[in-house]
Chain A
Amino acid sequence: MVKLIQLIRQYWNVILFVLLELICFRLIVKSNSMQGSDLINSSNALAGFFYEKQNDVVTYFQLRTVNKELLAENARLHNELSGFQYFDTLQNVSAKVPLVVYDTVKARKDSALAVNDSTQPAKPTIVQELRPFGNPKIVGYASYTYIAARVINNSVVNDRNNYITINRGAADGIRKDMAVVSSEGIVGRVADVSNHYATIISVLSSRNISTQIAGGNIGVTSWSNNSPDFVTMSQVDIRTKVRKGDTAYTTSYSVYPENVPVGTVVAIDTYKVNNSLNLKLRLSNNFRNLKYVYVVKDNLGTERKDLEKAAAAKEKAAMDAVHKK
């Protein structure tokens, strides 16, 4: 017994070293599992506080570019909206948040009739001018809600997984596994949530994303692990006609909303072995320079997930029954 204690005392440092390394490896393994670590990550209050304070200072130097980006996005959204002015494309979608459009055609007809009726030239009153032009009409229901958040920490240099911390958390309605996009394209998905902060595992990590290019050809996009500017889209049908400069978008198969830009094609490789194309995409987002993101809340997400889970369970039960026979 004395000898054992002497041995332990002699090799105490080595034992401590091995013990600490084992704890480290346990933490690493835990953080790399798909569930993500709940122990050590920057969504906790302390790290979040420091990152937010630092960001409060830095953010003033970026206001000009942020403004520019917001203007550009506004213009793009206005353009997109103008395309939907006269069509009820969303008529059959059912969910909770009503989408209202103003029936300008009918309103114009009414005013034209009014002009014909009276000999006076029709002059809209101030009240009419302030109101949106036309008659309000609910055309459908939005299935996504966007929650704006500020990026308070961001990394691009890690080789396997890169994380982003934002200043919105569970108190603002953010839950695990929600999709995150920015005005330019996809960003990632929520990995951990605390009360006022959340960490996002960004596209620059070892998770695959289902993407499509023009014409609806679907592939799998993954990060090629050495540059924060490029991702690789693989398993694209070899007969697909792609040109450099084409844009890849998300599909509705994953957590992301459909048709969010992923990147533009910069190189095309043909793999005859498995009859597929590998496309190198330049990410539409500049991950070195993220400032504001939107967390996407899928209003129909739980319903869809439950349905898919039920279908999978049914399939599994059927398979089990076959195996028992």
Chain B
Amino acid sequence: MSIYLRNFLRFLALIGIQVLLLNKLSLRWWTSPNGFPTFTPFVYPLFILLLPISTPVWFVLISGFGLGLTVDMFMNTGGIHAAACVFMAFARMAVLKPILPRKIYEYKNLSPSVKTMNWTPFMTYSSILLFLHHLAYLLLDIWSLHAPLYLVIKLLASLVTSLLFVALYSLLFSNSINTQYKD
């Protein structure tokens, strides 16, 4: 399968999982009288995380924008997801550069994943970027700093849950994703 088709299918699959499956869940870690924040885990940013390493930044930005707008359309959030995705896409290269041992152009057609990077670097990479995405999303959604603790709790809870889903996804699909592109 060509790398374009592979990424396009991943786009569709992730949107499908996010919109038709995860958005129907409203999770909370425990019930408390004051109301522990409810949240949905987000896995669709994985599309940006898993784009090939040598993808030019402008393409990452534009695909992030498109991804965010598609999710916004389904979730009625105006442009909040798009803004968070573009922010995350912009930060991607800055995070990826120090984590990878070699120069960026040496990774031709290779996606950042568990197979290519090992568990620790990959989870570090995805947790930093997902943190930025969730922070941007929640700040734009709540649009106030009146309850910082609420923001922090909601951020941590949804971030950890999203990371669990990211790990699950990479466990399920890492075998098929990278067999052909190993150098």
Listed in ascending order, the chain A residues whose CB lies under 8 Å from chain B are 12-13, 16-17, 20-21, 23-28, 30-32, 37, 40-42, 44, 46-47, 50-51, 54, 58, 153, 155-161, 163, 165, 199, 226-230, 288
Q: Which residue of A lies closest to B84 (CB)?
A: A24
27 interchain pairs (CB within 8 A)? Answer: A17-B86, A20-B62, A21-B86, A21-B87, A23-B65, A24-B65, A24-B80, A24-B83, A25-B79, A27-B79, A27-B82, A31-B76, A40-B72, A42-B75, A47-B74, A50-B20, A51-B74, A155-B23, A155-B75, A157-B40, A158-B75, A159-B142, A160-B143, A161-B76, A226-B35, A228-B38, A229-B35
Within 8 A of A (CB), among B40-68: 40, 57-58, 61-62, 65, 68
**By the criterion CB–CB under 8 Å, are A20 and B142 in contact?**
no
CA distance A230 to B36 in the complex (A): 13
**By the criterion CB–CB under 8 Å, are A199 and B141 in contact?**
no
Range class of the B interface residue count = 35 or more
0/1 string, B8-48, CB within 8 A of A gives 1: 00000000000110011010000000110111100000000
Among B68, B77, B87, the most chain A Cβ lie within 10 Å of the Cβ of: B77
> With an 8 A cutoff between CB atoms, is B73 at the interface?
yes
**By the criterion CB–CB under 8 Å, are A288 and B26 in contact?**
yes
**By the criterion CB–CB under 8 Å, are A28 and B140 in contact?**
yes
CA distance A278 to B141 in the complex (A): 26
**By the criterion CB–CB under 8 Å, are B38 and A30 in contact?**
no
CA distance A156 to B40 in the complex (A): 10
Q: Which residues of A contact B74 (CB under 8 A)?
A: 42, 47, 50-51, 153
**By the criterion CB–CB under 8 Å, are B58 and A227 in contact?**
no
Given A157-B26, A159-B141, A20 contacting B75 (CB threshold 8 A):
no
**By the criterion CB–CB under 8 Å, are A42 and B76 in contact?**
yes
Extra contacts besides A41-B73, A226-B37, A230-B35 (18): CB < 8 Å: A12-B58, A13-B57, A13-B61, A13-B90, A20-B86, A23-B65, A26-B79, A28-B78, A40-B73, A54-B20, A153-B23, A155-B23, A155-B75, A157-B39, A160-B141, A161-B76, A199-B76, A227-B38
